[in-house]
Amino acid sequence: MNPLLNIENLRVDFQLADGVVHAVRGIDIHVGAGEIVAVVGESGSGKSATALSVLRLNPQPPCVYAGGSIEFDGRSLLDLEERELRTVRGNEIAMVFQDPMTSLNPVKRVDAQVAEVLRKHKGASRTEALAAVPEALAEAGIDKPEQRARKYPHELSGGLRQRVMIAMALVGRPRLLIADEPTTALDVTVQARILDLLAELRANHGMAILLITHDLGVVAELADRVVVCRDGVVVESGATERVFEEPEDEYTRRLLAATPRLEVSP
């Protein structure tokens, strides 16, 4: 069976004033329907640049897609015209960014921002879209959704803002969710709730998830498979349990060794 998302030998450059940065130098990632695949690596490994490339969200210029392919359900995303790509963004593929405070519009209420997705991608009227917002927020684990829908982003906690971003991503019922460091800067209790929510959404809707993270604890809890990146290339990939228990690459072994462990004395 062909994967839902198929990234082959992707190369992404950034042409800057002082030279060219080869951010992604031949990455392969495959995500099947209903599968959770985590991409891990240190800062600068190319994982976020790869994730943004799926929806061509890297700014052009300076970004140049120098080679390789990205296919979603058999369609080449790198070859789509911008008008066609807009029908994919937020509709078939949605993305949750790592900083919800800067991703949400600070001068629009939550209900207006969530409703905009339904109006743009599902053709809902303004009244229909606004009426659907509380249910979307509740599905994302937000209590008192009618009250929270009328808030501005700055009136919500970091965890609630992240859940609003998830509600916006899911209200269009995408087949693939790209989550770029979705638990960054959240306390451990909120992190656990966000991870549980993602697992529930996969279970309830069969949605595939491409998870970008540096947190191996998150990977161990959530991912079916893991892709380890370093310096813009994949150094190891495989089933999460296998990679954690029997890592083949020295860089993977160092990442695992650097993960804090809670040791209990007898």
Q: Tell me the average pLDDT across 135-141.
A: 88
Residue 247 to residue 120: CA distance in whole angstroms: 45
221-255 pLDDT, tens digit per residue, is: 899 999 999 999 999 999 999 999 999 999 999 99
Residue where the block lists tokens 């917002």? 133
Is the residue at 166 inside a domain?
yes
What is the reported pLDDT for 211?
A: 94
Domain-embedded: residue 196: no
Q: What is the pLDDT of residue 11?
A: 97
Inside any domain, residue 125: yes
Q: What is the DSSP secondary-structure string of 174-210? A: -SEEEEESTTTT--HHHHHHHHHHHHHHHHHH--EEE
* Residue 69 covered by a domain: no
Across the chain, mean pLDDT equals 90
Backbone angles phi, psi at 48, to 5 degrees: -70, -35
What pTM does this model have?
Answer: 0.90
Kindly report the three-state secondary structure assignment for every residue of 118-141.
HHHHCCCCHHHHHHHHHHHHHHCC
For the ranges 8-22, 175-189, 244-258, the lowest mean pLDDT is seen at: 175-189
Q: How many domains are there within the chain?
A: 1
pLDDT at residue 34, rounded to an integer: 92
**Beta bridge partners of residue 213, listed in sequence order:** 40
Residue 188 lies in a domain: no
Q: Is 141 inside any structural domain? A: yes
Residue with tokens 């209900």: 111
Asked if residue 207 has pLDDT above 80, the reply is: yes
Q: Using 50, 70 and 90 to split pLDDT, how confident is the model at 81? A: very high
The answer to whether residue 54 is domain-embedded is no
Q: Is 142 within the bounds of a domain?
A: yes
Q: What is the mean pLDDT of residues 103-128?
A: 92
What separation, in Å, do the N-terminal and C-terminal C-alpha atoms of the chain show?
A: 49
- Full domain range(s) for residue 115: 104-173
Task: Give the per-residue pLDDT at 265.
Answer: 47
Q: In which band, very low, low, confident or very high, does the pLDDT at 26 lie, cut at 50, 70 and 90?
A: very high
